[in-house]
Amino acid sequence: MSESVRIDRLIRSCRRSVALQVERDATLVVRVPYGFREAEILRIVEQRRQWILTQQESARTKMKKNPPRTFEEGGFFPFLGEEYTLRFIKDLKPTVVFEKGFFIRDNLRSRAKSVLEDWCRWQARLLLEERSAYFARQAGLKYEKVRITGARTRWGSCSSRGTLSYTWRLVLAPVEALDYVAAHEVAHLAVKNHSSFFWKKVSELYPDYLKWKRWLDENGSLLHF
C-alpha cells in the first residue's frame, strides 16, 4: 500500500496557479485559486506524491538533528549564529544580560525559555527595523511598519499595505541570513510575486542572497527551541 499524502493547510486566494509547499515542520501547504475544485487539488497532489514524500522525509531528518534544548545552568542558546552559555545570577537587576553569554536572574530559572524568547523578540525588532530601513533606502521604497511575529515556518512577509512582518527566530540565525530576509521582504514592496524580476531586485539589494537563502533552506529547522 502506498503512503498517503495529507494536506495540512489549504489556502485559497486570488492567485492564478496551484503551489505546493512542504514546510520546515514537514507539513504540506497547498495554495490554489478561488473556485478550484477539490477533485482537481487531490489529483495534482497525487501527481506530486513522490516529491512531497521526499521533501517531508528531508524535513523530518533535519528536525531530528535539532533535539529540544534544556534551559539549565551551563546550557547553550543561539544568537546571531553563535551558541552562548546560559548562567543564572542572584540579585541580577535586569531580566537578562547578554555579555559573551546569557545571564538570567536566578528567580526566573523556571521561566528561562519565555524570558529568552521575550529578549529575542526585542532584539529582532531593533535589528529588523534597522535593516528594513536600510534596504528600503537603498531601493528608494517606503513601507508602513515592521511587525515581529512568532511564526515557526515562515521567515517573513510583506502585506498589500506595506507592512513587513518577520519572525523573531531570525535573530537565532547568522546576521547575513537576517539581512537576506529583510532584503527579500523589501523587494516585495516593488514586486509582489516571485518572478525573475523579483529575484533580480533581491540581487540588487543583497548580491549574496542565494548563499543565505540556501542556508535557511538547509538550517531553518535549527532555529527553534
What are phi and psi for residue 156, nearest 5 degrees?
Answer: -165, 170
Hey, which residues does 163 pair with through a beta bridge? 145
Distance of CA 31 to the CA centre of its chain: 19
Residue 29: all three cell numbers together = 501547504
**Residue 1 has what pLDDT?**
40
What number is the average pLDDT over the span 6-26?
89
- Other beta carbons within 10 Å of 85: 13
Share of the chain above pLDDT 70, in %: 97
DSSP state of 156: E
Angle between helix axes 49-64 and 38-47 (nearest 10 degrees) is 70
Query: Is residue 182 over pLDDT 70?
Result: yes
Helix spans in 65-151 (H): 112-139
For residues 92 and 189, the model is more confident at 189
What number is the average pLDDT over the span 14-20?
90
**Residue 24 has what pLDDT?**
74
- Distances 42 to 5, 18, 47, 50, 84 between C-alpha atoms, Å: 10, 11, 9, 14, 46
Q: CB under 8 Å to 98, separation ≥6 — which residues? A: 79, 84, 119
**Residue 125 has what pLDDT?**
97
Q: Give yes or no for a contact between 66 and 169, defined as CB atoms under 8 angstroms apart.
A: no
Q: State how far the Cα of 46 lies from the Cα of 49, in Å rounded to an integer.
A: 5
- Other beta carbons within 10 Å of 113: 13
What number is the average pLDDT over the span 174-190?
97
- Average pLDDT in the chain: 91
For residues 60 and 163, the model is more confident at 163
**Residue 220 has what pLDDT?**
83
What number is the average pLDDT over the span 10-16?
90
What number is the average pLDDT over the span 105-129?
94
**Residue 65 has what pLDDT?**
67
Query: Is residue 2 over pLDDT 70?
Result: no
**Residue 71 has what pLDDT?**
87
For residues 1 and 206, the model is more confident at 206
For residues 6 and 223, the model is more confident at 6
Q: Point out the least confidently predicted range of 25-34, 123-132, 172-181.
A: 25-34
Q: Give yes or no for a contact between 212 and 176, defined as CB atoms under 8 angstroms apart.
A: yes
Q: State how far the Cα of 121 lies from the Cα of 124, in Å rounded to an integer.
A: 5
Query: Is residue 67 over pLDDT 70?
Result: no
Alpha carbons within 13 angstroms on the beta-carbon side of residue 16 total 1
Domain locations in the chain?
9-64, 76-117, 121-222
- Distances 207 to 132, 162, 176, 210, 225 between C-alpha atoms, Å: 16, 23, 11, 8, 31
Of 3.30.930.10, 3.40.50.720, 3.40.30.160, 3.30.2010.10, the CATH number of 121-222 is 3.30.2010.10
Q: What is the pTM of this model?
A: 0.74
